[in-house]
Structure 1
Amino acid sequence: MNQVVDAGLAFLRKIDPYVRPAFDATLRQPLQDAVQWLVNASRRDEQLGIAEERIGPDEQEHTKAIIDVLARLMKREYEPGSFLRAGNTKTYAVVQGSFSVHSGLPSRLRHGVLAQPRTYPACVRFAGPGPFSPPDIRDNGILSIAVKLMGVPGRKLLDDEQHTQDFTALSAPTTTTATLAENLAYREQVFAGSALRYFLNPRSPHLLDLIMQALYARTHTSPLETPYWSCVPYLLGPDQAMKYRLTPTTDTRTAVGWNPPDDYLQQALIHTLHHTDAHFAFDVQLQTDPHRMPIENATVIWPEHLAPHQTVATLTIPQQTIDPAEQFHLADRLRYNPWHALEAHRPLGNQNRARRAVYQQLAQLRQNTNGTTPHEPAPNGRARGPVTRVAPSPF
């Protein structure tokens, strides 16, 4: 049975580039609207205010359990010295870029790194979904981007880096799971090799979440040719919540071919940046309705009609030569964590609160096992020395 399913999925991945443009143009939005209506119909109003969080009683236990199951997966799947990340696993490239804040922003948007027009050097990682690292055509449905701004002044929430601000995003507007408890249940099924059972479990089905992910899981043409969403919210200043999005500003599409090489996404990225620059618009969306735009449920899309996205910066990835042999070494030295942040961009919501410890402890496991010393990248291209201080847990 599994062989039949795998064969069917392999065929769908191959035909996806030919049918996806028409599907996205005609069917994705109405299907998404219907799914989101059903998701919202089952939610209760938590009576929270703008940018207000509610910490659940079991978050610390769930976070520890997620760390445990992901650590066990890493130890099972990878040999010491070659550990990969348990999520956003497959590195396509780590590239140099710049993040330019636009001038003339409204005062309500001018907080943190957006406070004034300025250009920050950036270290940008493009990656695949994980937690495994098969050939690209077999597992490239949801991609990720991690942008590390350098030379950022001010105290950071997590002080294993002192001069950076990280922004992380996925090529889908929602996460797979709504809550930390559901995230743990999903991770346990992935570990057991039965991820589909999580979505189709008759006792606790998550079919709507599966459909939302399927609407955006696709055979990608290049990591440079898809939008990325934060999925989860962040502060923007002292009393506002935002989500953000990075959107490529060109409509180019790299041909995939019927039998692409195992690393075709990396090759597409390398080829593009060998010949030209890449640009992404960085947009923010402010929370205006605490119920329709929840903090604690990352499977809900914040409605555009309640708060449209506003472009506040441009991420530029200049033409550059990428040596594939250096990519895994460079990626292994880096730690991306949304808590590498100014207070003005503090991560919000249960998934984000867990990511602080999950990302930090799994990065430490990966680098300790690989014998890698973590370094904070500096604007001059050199690495700052490692910092060992750790901020206290938010729990």
Structure 2
Amino acid sequence: MKRWIPHLAQATTDFTIPRLRRLDPLYRDQFDRLLRGPLEALVQGFIRMQQPHEGLALGEENLSEDEIDHTRDITDSMTRFLSREYRDKARTAERAGNTKTYGLVLGTFKVDPDLPTRLQTALFQPGRQYRAYIRFAGPGPRVVPDIEDNGILSIGIKLMGVPGRKLMEDEQFTVDLSGISAPTFTTPNVRENAKLQQQLLLGTPAWYFLNPLDSHYLDMFMQGLYARAYNNPLEATYHSGVPYLYGREKGHNRAIKYALIPRIGQPSRIRRFSDNYLRDAMTRTLARTPVVFDFAIQFQTDPVSMPIENAAVVWSRRASPFITVATLEIPCQRFDYPAQDAFARQITINPWHTLATHRPLGNQNRARRAIYYATSRMRQAINQERHVEPTGDEIFNTGAGNGTDATAADTSTQPRVSQ
């Protein structure tokens, strides 16, 4: 197929979507409340019709023969993108995904003090608290005005001071959690993800969805139901999208997905679509009021309708309701320091920074271990930054020019956040 067709599709998408999204404040809240649920159920019905019966037990994975090859292809595409976009142009490198940082803030992850025994694991012990960095970000792969991105937000959480041996050895005391503002991933598996990354490298990601010879219309529709002009990153619900281990019960693995659900009263409104209106909204909110998210888990109760290996399937809330096991509390604070923004770029979020009890599950998660490691190290190499394991005691308001300087500040004289 001639390449001008994918480029025309991409140019049309780039022109149309931001203009349509400017209309979201007029109707989108009502649309989401009334129509998103029924439309999601319809699309999920078609997706489930294509879901094979793999004969797996609860919490059981199924490694495909070509998974390693697809992981290698994705890693190659993303590192080539970083090299072309940043190293070759002598620019400061950003992430290849979840690229634009709206803000890095400090908070506390608090486990429910009355957590029932069956929900207790190594990380989730009643009343346990962990300091946390929380990075709110946009989708990428480039830093663009907020209204021009693809309308899906992301969150990356780094819990600190967590004891126990981790699955990755580059950090010893952290556990990372991540999510996006849609319940499904952009791609169902690594095979399709490799195709998307190739189109991203070619500059035509829209063609991954629109190509009639290899279309992904159902995935596009699912993303479209959640892609919108968000009012404020602190008001979005974030979903893990992929499953994780949650210990064992009666000799069997337990798989979960999780969500971060904001406790908000009256939602804010978009004042104007400035290039960084989402960061501005965060700044206004945290200048006057703390923010709380409920951290809720959803158990896999059926291996067919709640697959481990297909990230396009939403697990039924009716069959398995979410259970709140912790809260993420973000106090009032200022976070718009240059050193803090640099530190947000320097730290790495990888789901394999975790305990074996909470091992990531599924092909997308297995691939993320290698992909995230390789792309983070390339980003740090381009920027000549070292890998750091944060402690939560870093200081950013002393005029330090980068994250490395910030980590050396004296925390006894410079409080990080106000409460």
Q: TM-score range by the shorter chain?
A: over 0.9
Q: Secondary structure of the residue that 1:236 maps to in structure 2? A: strand
Contact 1:170 1:231 in 2 (8 A): yes
Contact 1:225 1:252 in 2 (8 A): no
- Percent identity reads 46
What corresponds to 2:203 in structure 1?
Answer: 193
Alignment partner of 1:85 is 2:99:
no
1:45-104 deviations in whole A, cap 9, x for unaligned? 111011100111111111111011011111222234500000000011111000000022
Question: What runs of 5+ residues in structure 1 fail to find an aligned partner?
Answer: 386-395
Q: CA deviation at 1:5?
A: 4.3
Whichever residue aligns with residue 40 of structure 1, its letter is: R
Cα distance in structure 1, aligned partners of 2:279 and 2:186: 25
1:115-164 deviations in whole A, cap 9, x for unaligned? 33211100111100011111111115000001111100000000100001
What corresponds to 2:280 in structure 1?
Answer: 267
What corresponds to 2:298 in structure 1?
Answer: 285
- Equivalent residue runs for 1:28-43 within 5 Å: 28-43=36-51
Q: Which runs of 4+ in 1 moved over 4 A?
A: 1-5, 382-385
Q: Secondary structure of the residue that 1:126 maps to in structure 2? A: strand
1:12-60 deviations in whole A, cap 9, x for unaligned? 1111122101101111111000000000011111110111001111111
Cα 1:4/1:146, change in 2 over 3 Å = closer
Alignment partner of 1:344 is 2:357:
yes
- Equivalent residue runs for 1:209-220 within 5 Å: 209-220=219-230
Q: Secondary structure of the residue that 2:179 maps to in structure 1? A: strand
Alignment partner of 1:166 is 2:176:
yes
Alignment partner of 1:253 is 2:263:
no
What corresponds to 2:413 in structure 1?
Answer: none
Cα distance in structure 2, aligned partners of 1:64 and 1:127: 25
Whichever residue aligns with residue 248 of structure 1, its letter is: P
What corresponds to 1:388 in structure 2?
Answer: none
Cα distance in structure 2, aligned partners of 1:202 and 1:8: 20
Alignment partner of 1:138 is 2:148:
yes
Q: Secondary structure of the residue that 1:112 maps to in structure 2? A: coil
What corresponds to 1:374 in structure 2?
Answer: 387
Q: Which of 10, 35, 46 pairs up with 2:18?
A: 10
Q: Secondary structure of the residue that 1:46 maps to in structure 2? A: coil
Cα distance in structure 1, aligned partners of 2:98 and 2:335: 20
What corresponds to 1:390 in structure 2?
Answer: none
What corresponds to 1:319 in structure 2?
Answer: 332
What corresponds to 1:70 in structure 2?
Answer: 78
Q: CA deviation at 1:380?
A: 3.4
Contact 2:43 2:222 in 1 (8 A): yes
Q: Which of 64, 71, 74 pairs up with 1:56?
A: 64
Q: CA deviation at 1:4?
A: 5.1
Contact 1:93 1:324 in 2 (8 A): no
What corresponds to 1:392 in structure 2?
Answer: none
Cα distance in structure 1, aligned partners of 2:139 and 2:53: 32
Q: CA deviation at 1:8?
A: 2.5
* RMSD, aligned α-carbons: 1.6
Q: CA deviation at 1:261?
A: 1.5
Q: Which of 94, 106, 129 pairs up with 1:119?
A: 129
Cα distance in structure 1, aligned partners of 2:49 and 2:150: 31
Cα distance in structure 1, aligned partners of 2:337 and 2:148: 20
Question: What runs of 5+ residues in structure 2 fail to find an aligned partner?
Answer: 1-7, 396-403, 409-419
Contact 1:225 1:251 in 2 (8 A): no
Please identify, of 247-256 and 147-156, the stretch whose mean Cα deviation from structure 2 is larger: 247-256
1:225-284 deviations in whole A, cap 9, x for unaligned? 100000000000131000000011013333224x52111111111111111101100000
Q: CA deviation at 1:192?
A: 1.3
Whichever residue aligns with residue 182 of structure 1, its letter is: E
Whichever residue aligns with residue 341 of structure 1, its letter is: T
1:334-365 deviations in whole A, cap 9, x for unaligned? 01100000011100000000000100110000
Contact 1:95 1:125 in 2 (8 A): yes
Cα 1:376/1:34, change in 2 over 3 Å = same
Cα 1:7/1:369, change in 2 over 3 Å = closer
Cα distance in structure 1, aligned partners of 2:143 and 2:392: 30
Cα distance in structure 2, aligned partners of 1:324 and 1:11: 32
Q: CA deviation at 1:318?
A: 0.4
Cα distance in structure 2, aligned partners of 1:371 and 1:6: 33
Q: Which of 337, 348, 360 pairs up with 1:335?
A: 348
Contact 2:160 2:390 in 1 (8 A): yes
Whichever residue aligns with residue 54 of structure 1, its letter is: N
TM-score norm. by structure 2 comes to 0.89
Cα distance in structure 2, aligned partners of 1:10 and 1:123: 31
What corresponds to 2:411 in structure 1?
Answer: none
Contact 1:112 1:236 in 2 (8 A): no
TM-score norm. by structure 1 comes to 0.94
1:269-313 deviations in whole A, cap 9, x for unaligned? 111111110110000001110111100001000001111000000
Q: Which of 53, 67, 71 pairs up with 1:45?
A: 53
Cα distance in structure 1, aligned partners of 2:370 and 2:203: 25
Cα distance in structure 2, aligned partners of 1:54 and 1:354: 13
Cα distance in structure 1, aligned partners of 2:324 and 2:130: 17
Whichever residue aligns with residue 293 of structure 1, its letter is: M
